[in-house]
Structure 1
Amino acid sequence: MYKRSEGFFKGYQDINLFFQIWDNPEARGTVIITHGHGEHSESYHRLIKAFENDKWSFYGWDLRGHGRSDGRRGYVAEFDDYCKDYKIFLDMVMKEEKVKKGPVILYCHSMGGLIQLKTLLQNSDIDCTAMVISAPLLGLTVPVPAFKAKGAGILNKLLPQITMGNELSNDMLTRDPDVIREYEQDALRHTRVSPGAFLGFLDSFEFVNPRANQLKKPALVIVSDADPVISTSAAKALYEHLGTTQKELYVYPGGKHELINDTIRQTVYADIKKFLDGFLESK
Structure 2
Amino acid sequence: MYKRSEGFFKGYQDINLFFQIWENPNAKGTIIFTHGHGEHSESYHRLTSAFENDSWSFYGWDLRGHGKSDGRRGYASEFDDYCRDYKIFLDMVLQDEKVRKGPVILLCHSMGALIELKTLMRNPDLKFDGIVVSSPLLGLAITVPAIKSRAASILHKLLPQVTLGNELDNSMLSSDVDVLREYEQDSLRHTRMSPGVFLGMLESWNYVRPRANEIKKPALFQLPEHDPVCSTPDAKSFYEKMGSKRKEIYIYPNAKHEIYNDVMRNTAFADLKKFLDSFLESK
Whether the TM-score (by the shorter chain) exceeds 0.5 is yes
Give yes or no for the alignment of 1:220 onto 2:220: yes
How many Å separate the matches in 1 of 2:155 and 2:181? 34
Give yes or no for the alignment of 1:12 onto 2:12: yes
Identity across the alignment (%): 69
How many Å separate the matches in 2 of 1:128 and 1:208? 19
> Residue 273 of structure 1: SS of its match in structure 2?
helix
Residue aligning to 2:229: 229
Alpha-carbon distance, 1:120 to partner: 0.2
> Residue 72 of structure 1: SS of its match in structure 2?
coil
Alpha-carbon distance, 1:197 to partner: 0.6
Give yes or no for the alignment of 1:95 onto 2:95: yes
Q: Is the 8 A contact 2:217 2:245 kept in 1?
A: no
How many Å separate the matches in 2 of 1:240 and 1:216? 12
Residue aligning to 1:266: 266
How many Å separate the matches in 2 of 1:23 and 1:229? 32
How many Å separate the matches in 1 of 2:164 and 2:80? 20
Residue aligning to 1:175: 175
Alpha-carbon distance, 1:271 to partner: 0.4
Alpha-carbon distance, 1:188 to partner: 0.4
**1:118-133 correspondence runs (5 A):** 118-133=118-133
Residue aligning to 1:135: 135
Q: Which amino acid aligns with 1:185?
A: Q
CA offsets 1:151-205 (integer angstroms, 9 cap, x no match): 1101100000001111100000000011001000000000000111100110000
Q: Which amino acid aligns with 1:40?
A: H
How many Å separate the matches in 2 of 1:201 and 1:226? 21
How many Å separate the matches in 2 of 1:143 and 1:181? 26
What is the RMSD of the two structures over their aligned residues, measured on CA atoms? 0.5
Q: Which amino acid aligns with 2:48?
A: I
How many Å separate the matches in 1 of 2:25 and 2:230? 37
How many Å separate the matches in 1 of 2:11 and 2:60? 14
**1:70-85 correspondence runs (5 A):** 70-85=70-85
How many Å separate the matches in 1 of 2:125 and 2:12? 18
Alpha-carbon distance, 1:127 to partner: 1.3
Q: Is the 8 A contact 2:38 2:191 kept in 1?
A: yes
Residue aligning to 1:159: 159
**1:50-61 correspondence runs (5 A):** 50-61=50-61
How many Å separate the matches in 2 of 1:226 and 1:167? 17
How many Å separate the matches in 1 of 2:237 and 2:30? 28
Residue aligning to 2:243: 243
Alpha-carbon distance, 1:238 to partner: 1.2
How many Å separate the matches in 1 of 2:169 and 2:69? 23
Residue aligning to 1:194: 194
Alpha-carbon distance, 1:124 to partner: 1.1
Gaps of 5+ in 2: none
> Residue 102 of structure 2: SS of its match in structure 1?
coil
How many Å separate the matches in 2 of 1:111 and 1:83? 11
How many Å separate the matches in 2 of 1:245 and 1:119? 20
Q: TM-score w.r.t. structure 2 length? A: 0.99
Residue aligning to 1:277: 277
How many Å separate the matches in 2 of 1:109 and 1:240? 18
Residue aligning to 1:117: 117
Q: Which amino acid aligns with 2:209?
A: N
> Residue 49 of structure 1: SS of its match in structure 2?
helix
